[in-house]
Chain A
Amino acid sequence: MKLRRGRVLQATFGCNPNSSSLGVDVTFLLFGSLLASTLALLLGALLRRNPQR
């Protein structure tokens, strides 16, 4: 049986310097779900390719 590959579930970009947490990155929220799923696959592939730590 083929093992399911790992997934990126959530991505938050940049650092938050504020007293309240970053709630909404309007820039990313404007994109569609296609971009979110594509980005999840891309980030997952990049993570696997070079898992330095």
Chain B
Amino acid sequence: MKVLRARAERFGGIVEIERPRALLHVDRQMMRELGYRDSPLWQLAEDGPLSAPREVHVVLSRRCAAGCRGCYVDATPDGAALSLEEARRILDQLAAMGVFHVALGGGEALELDYLFAVAEHARAVGITPNLTTSGLGLDADAARRCAVFGQINVSVDGVGPAYAQARGFDGFRHAERALRLLRAVKPEVGVNCVVSRSSFDHVPEVARLVKRLRLNELELLRFKPVGRGRGLDEELTPAQCRALFPMARRLVFRHRIRVKLDCSFAPMVFWHRPSKEVAAFFGVQGCVAGDVLAAVQPEGAFTGCSFLSTAAADARIPGAMAAAWPSGFAEVRGYPARAPEPCASCEYLALCRGGCRAVGSPDPGCPRVQEHRARRALPVLAT
């Protein structure tokens, strides 16, 4: 088993292996057995934030011609973008911090003529670049060049007419063609599907598409009321919040595909009381903004995740991200310690972390919060 990279953490370290592609958290003794020297971090208590994010979402631009009605970055055809040099310098800094993966996105990253140069630079500094795209404009040549990426997911929020209904334009044929072109190049191709109130019932059709095209994953992303989505009434209903995890389970069994849910769905999963030990081992967690995850916005803001707007630093300034990391996201990280009811007494709080900060705290999509509110009025603390 080949170890690609490793870095020390308070609890021991994080090790990246190639086959199977995985990030493993190991204890201090395992790090020693692997030949790593004792780290100064091992003098600290094992609990505490990571020394750096494991993955960073680099929002290369707010530039996209598609104009999706719920676009969370409010992308326009001439939106802001990081330059190639800025992106390279940011990747250099992230590599120095020990970041393992970056997710490149936008906007539509494929509209940037330097996207592949950014991805190649990430590889050169030891970071795995991954990509989310709408697939619009992807041709066979661009698909071949996409071999540089680790995982590529194409956004498909519905099949056929359901795509147009969800995104506001008819782009399904383009997305399906892009999936076929990419799948011919590499196996690590999947689908991102935003689950909203109106698209919920169409998710099984997307799962069938994933099966039919032999894609390696279906990732369900929760609709969040940010960007242009702020004006839409598309958050899941309480019944849908309860039905989400059982639906995902059915899709796994019925289609034998890998189904993943983004971190914002954690409260809707933990309400079904899965094994805490299994969840902890497989890294099932709620909001990991400013901990496992961080984001860089096109204007340079270094944020806890791409849905949060409070900047801890300007990522374009050399050293600023590393300097801000230890305490810059204390407010986001600290929610479990100051959580009100019903989070405070929830046995899953350490894993769930109170749900998605971009939606609200406590998370209004959590069935436990909904039940609590049904019994008594509960203030929502916006973040």
Contacts and interface: CB of A to CB of B under 8 A. Distances in A.
Interface of A: 3-33, 35-37, 39-40, 43-44, 46-53
Interface of B: 1-3, 6, 11-12, 15, 17, 20-35, 55, 57, 59, 72, 101, 103-105, 128, 130-132, 149-153, 188, 190, 192, 216-217, 219, 221-222, 245, 248-249, 251-252, 258-266, 269, 274-275, 277-286, 288-289, 292-293, 295, 305-307, 356
B269 A24 contact: yes
Contacts, number: 223
Contacts of A31: 278
- Of A4, A16, A29, A39, chain B has the most CB atoms within 10 Å of the CB of A16
A11 B283 contact: yes
B283 A53 contact: no
A17 B103 contact: yes
A9 B29 CA distance: 12
Contacts of B130: 15-17
A47 to B, nearest CB: 6
A52 B36 CA distance: 11
- Of B26, B101, B275, B356, chain A has the most CB atoms within 10 Å of the CB of B26
A53 B1 contact: no
A6 B6 CA distance: 15
B255 to A, nearest CB: 11
B284 A50 contact: no
Given A12-B282, A21-B305, A24-B265, A47 B259 contact: no
Contacts of A32: 275, 278
Contact of A53 (B35, B217, B277, B295): B35
Contact of A30 (B3, B20, B249, B281): B249
Contacts of B279: 29
26 contacts: A6-B31, A7-B26, A7-B27, A10-B280, A10-B281, A14-B21, A15-B130, A15-B188, A17-B105, A17-B152, A17-B190, A18-B57, A19-B59, A19-B307, A20-B305, A20-B306, A21-B55, A21-B288, A25-B260, A29-B279, A29-B282, A31-B278, A39-B281, A43-B22, A47-B3, A51-B3
